Amino acid sequence: MSFKTLYAYQKAFDLAMEVFKLSKTFPTEERFALSNQIIRSSRSVCSAIAEAYRKREYPKYFTNKLTDADSENAETQLWLDFAEACNYLPEKHKIVLQSQSEEVGKLINYMKNNPGKFGVKTDC
């Protein structure tokens, strides 16, 4: 099974793509600030999930990478807050993206709490 089949990865990827599209609407002066940060953090969620899954034979590494994914997801939420506060993101759209991010967080936590369902040996 590929990490691409993981529901958490798919949802995180979808969110990262929505964030990327959103960042295209930010003013050019935000290109190296808010745009860069929000794109980086949202993509890092996907990356960390993929890394966790590929290293699942090492339970501590699996958990550590999922913790990284969760942290990056929280950072993405922070940047969404800034985008809304700067009036680059309508509240209605922010609520949708926030909800998607919260769903990703729940899926990451499910993976952390149920490592055996993802091929992680928990008897080590």
Domains of the chain, residue spans: 3-116
Side chain identity at residue 3, one-letter code: F
Contacts of 99 (CB under 8 A, 6+ apart): none
Side chain identity at residue 99, one-letter code: S
20 burial via Cβ count (<10 Å: 0-12, 13-18, 19+): middle
Phi and psi at residue 60, in whole multiples of 5°? -70, -40
In the predicted model, is pLDDT for residue 105 greater than 60?
yes
- Mean per-residue pLDDT for 65-81? 98
Out of 1.20.1440.60, 1.10.10.10, 3.40.50.450, 3.40.50.2030, the CATH code matching 3-116 is: 1.20.1440.60
Q: What is the pLDDT of residues 29-40, one digit of tens each?
A: 998 899 999 999
- Mean per-residue pLDDT for 80-85? 97
In the predicted model, is pLDDT for residue 104 greater than 90?
yes
Q: What is the pLDDT of residues 4-24, one digit of tens each?
A: 999 999 999 999 999 999 999
Phi-psi region of 90 (alpha: psi -120 to 50; beta: other; left: phi over 0): beta
Phi-psi region of 8 (alpha: psi -120 to 50; beta: other; left: phi over 0): alpha
pLDDT at 122: 77
- Mean per-residue pLDDT for 37-47? 97
CA angle, 65 as apex, 48 and 38 as ends, to 5°?
40
